[in-house]
């Protein structure tokens, strides 16, 4: 059985999106800085049908992650496109386009029941029964590979709170956003010891891994 890994980009001050998300800035003010590190990478571009990306240490991190994932769990807003009010349309899904880059089963945690669908190489299932059910289905789908909990913050927090998350993979972008959506809001997440699992660094981002000690 694979691991359950929360894998998320975050600012140095702990935000997964900047303040004042809007239609023009779905990741909030400055929030795009959190993800700049990934867009130019060869592995990421290839998943979007583009060639000629960077083959850096950051690319190695993404390639390894893509090889490990057997299923992805994410929140409805991350699936449907940002945190603004347009994201409240449960039928949205335009964020990832017609060929989402995941290419493994995606389990979207939502309050809105919806039929499963398949977009190109990515099957999507909408789970209304809560995080434990979503993680359980993802685990079954992933087989021996890992389950990636991709965000947003609420889903990552719920996964931590279940005690089922094995690892925390943070991609720390070199920016202070000064506000926004905190990954760790400090209002009820249980304390946990972590074990250092290694750092990979580049000027663009610092990848830090921890194992959750049970």
Sites of contact with its own copies (CB under 8 A): 12-15, 18, 29-30, 33, 160, 168, 170, 172, 174-180, 182-184, 186-196, 198-199, 201-204, 206, 208, 210
| Alpha carbons 159 and 193: distance in angstroms, whole number | 16
**Ramachandran class of 145: left when φ > 0, alpha when ψ lies in -120 to 50, beta otherwise:** beta
For its own copies, the closer of residues 85 and 197 by Cβ is 197
Say if CB 149 and CB 7 are below 8 A apart.
yes
Q: How far is the CB of 146 from its own copies (least distance, A)?
A: 20
Residue 198, classified by CB atoms within 10 Å of its CB into exposed (0-12), middle (13-18) or buried (19+), is exposed
Q: How far is the CB of 138 from its own copies (least distance, A)?
A: 22
For its own copies, the closer of residues 78 and 181 by Cβ is 181
Q: Check the CA dihedral 144-35-199-212 and report its sign.
A: negative
* Per-residue burial over 95-122, b = 16 or more CB atoms within 10 Å of its CB, e = otherwise: ebeeebbbebbbbbbbeeebeeeeeeeb
Q: How far is the CB of 164 from its own copies (least distance, A)?
A: 15
Q: How far is the CB of 127 from its own copies (least distance, A)?
A: 25
What's the token pair of residue 200?
Answer: 């990979």
The values of phi and psi at residue 92, to 5°, are: -65, 165
For its own copies, the closer of residues 49 and 186 by Cβ is 186
For its own copies, the closer of residues 80 and 157 by Cβ is 157
For its own copies, the closer of residues 138 and 181 by Cβ is 181
Q: How far is the CB of 86 from its own copies (least distance, A)?
A: 24
For its own copies, the closer of residues 128 and 202 by Cβ is 202
Q: How far is the CB of 190 from its own copies (least distance, A)?
A: 6
């Amino acid at each position: 059985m694979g691991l359950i890994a929360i894998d998320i980009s975050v600012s140095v001050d702990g935000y997964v999106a900047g303040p004042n998300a809007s239609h023009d800035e779905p990741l909030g003010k400055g929030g795009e800085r959190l993800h700049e590190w990934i867009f130019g990478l060869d592995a990421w571009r290839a998943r979007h049908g583009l060639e000629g990306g960077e083959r850096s240490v950051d690319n190695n991190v993404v390639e390894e992650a893509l090889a490990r994932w057997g299923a992805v769990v994410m929140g409805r807003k991350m699936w449907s496109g940002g945190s603004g009010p347009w994201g409240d349309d449960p039928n949205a899904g335009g964020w990832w386009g017609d060929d989402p880059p995941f290419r493994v089963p995606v389990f979207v945690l939502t309050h809105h029941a919806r039929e499963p669908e398949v977009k190109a190489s990515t099957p999507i299932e909408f789970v209304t029964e809560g995080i434990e059910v979503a993680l359980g289905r993802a685990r079954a789908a992933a087989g021996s590979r890992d389950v990636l909990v991709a965000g947003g913050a609420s889903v990552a927090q719920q996964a931590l709170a279940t005690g089922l998350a094995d690892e925390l993979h943070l991609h720390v972008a070199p920016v202070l956003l000064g506000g926004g959506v905190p990954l760790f809001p400090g209002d009820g997440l249980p304390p946990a010891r972590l074990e250092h699992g290694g750092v990979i660094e580049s000027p663009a981002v610092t990848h830090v891994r921890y194992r959750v000690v049970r």
